[in-house]
Amino acid sequence: MDSQTAERSAQLPQLAEPRNPGMELDLDWVAAVQANTSAIERRCATLPGRRSVKKDHQAAWLLKAISLIDLTTLSGDDTQGRVRRLCAKARQPVNAGLLRELGMDGLTTGAICVYHDMIETAVEALKGTGIPVAAVSTGFPAGLSPFHLRVAEIEESVKAGAEEIDIVISRRHVLTGNWQALYDEMKAFRQACSDAHVKAILATGELGSLRNVARASLVCMMAGADFIKTSTGKESVNATLPVSLVMIRAIRDYYDRTGYRVGYKPAGGISKAKDALVYLSLIKDELGNRWLQPDLFRFGASSLLNDIERQLEHHVTGAYSAGYRHSMG
């Protein structure tokens, strides 16, 4: 993809894609899933060096990355003022002068992600922009509240205006191999979401093995997940390239067998522009250009946008700006 193509791609609207309806739980398929850890780690170790982009091409890919960010604030001290500032950043993610220099007027982030209490504030701040509001749910981040309350929380967030719901699975179902329980839980969450799209957070740092990650990914897709997501951002280990490769290949396998595309969202620990470029190249290599659109790929991030803006300013001016010059992201 050349720089002009990538720039145009960053401005494309979300494409119409048949929603994953799910399927019956296929335990034979789940049991057959394996993960060759050493081969996966070798593949990921070589990726940054083999997929380097520079100059105009790098700027174009960074602009693409901005359009894929779920700009996130999930802190206990969140206020309405902070959420409004974050929404303003989503509407104008990069200095307007820089965007004019780059020919990218109208660029926005992919979504805003907040706690339930901040949904109405975010919806009001984003009115008329087409930027969706995502809400974390189901007892985020641990997912250990009573089941009926987790379902009710989803329903309340949808009622408040959230167009996307990021749910957390019960890790114990994965660790004990209770795939039927995981499937039933995910299916109930999907049903509670109604027309809102559901992202299944696997909390991969707590699942014990890459094989468990692969199997959990597949079960959640069978139950109707629209996206699978690595982490809550609250675990000690969040998004990593090996985990991403496993989840991406599960998505590819599911698409090959069912014809339905499921999205992918790495979250937690992705704060540097160079890391975003590696993830985008991995998606392009493994899934192809169709997955480089906001309806099928998102970064769960807060500080990533600031570093991307600094890199774009360097591209235009030849100088790096101080981090404090950039508004919150």
Q: Note the pLDDT tens digit of each residue in 22-63.
A: 999 999 999 999 999 999 999 999 888 776 788 899 999 999
Distance between CA atoms of residues 2 and 267, nearest Å: 27
The tokens of 34 are what? 């394996």
Percent of the chain with pLDDT over 90: 81
Collapsed DSSP state (helix, strand, coil) of residue 112: strand
Catalytic residues: 166, 229, 265
Tally of residues, the chain:
329
Distance between CA atoms of residues 273 and 88, nearest Å: 21
Collapsed DSSP state (helix, strand, coil) of residue 156: helix
Residues 142-148, mean pLDDT to the nearest whole number: 97
Distance between CA atoms of residues 34 and 51, nearest Å: 27
Q: For 232-292, where are the E strands, in sequence order?
A: 263-265
Residues 293-318, mean pLDDT to the nearest whole number: 93
Q: For residue 224, which amino acid is it?
A: G
CATH architecture of the domain formed by 3-10+24-318: Alpha-Beta Barrel (3.20)
Confidence tier at 323 by pLDDT (50, 70, 90): low
Q: pTM score, two decimals?
A: 0.92
Percent of the chain with pLDDT over 70: 92
Query: 202-229, pLDDT tens digit by residue?
Result: 999 999 999 999 999 999 999 999 999 9
CB 179 within 8 A of CB 213: no
Confidence tier at 15 by pLDDT (50, 70, 90): low
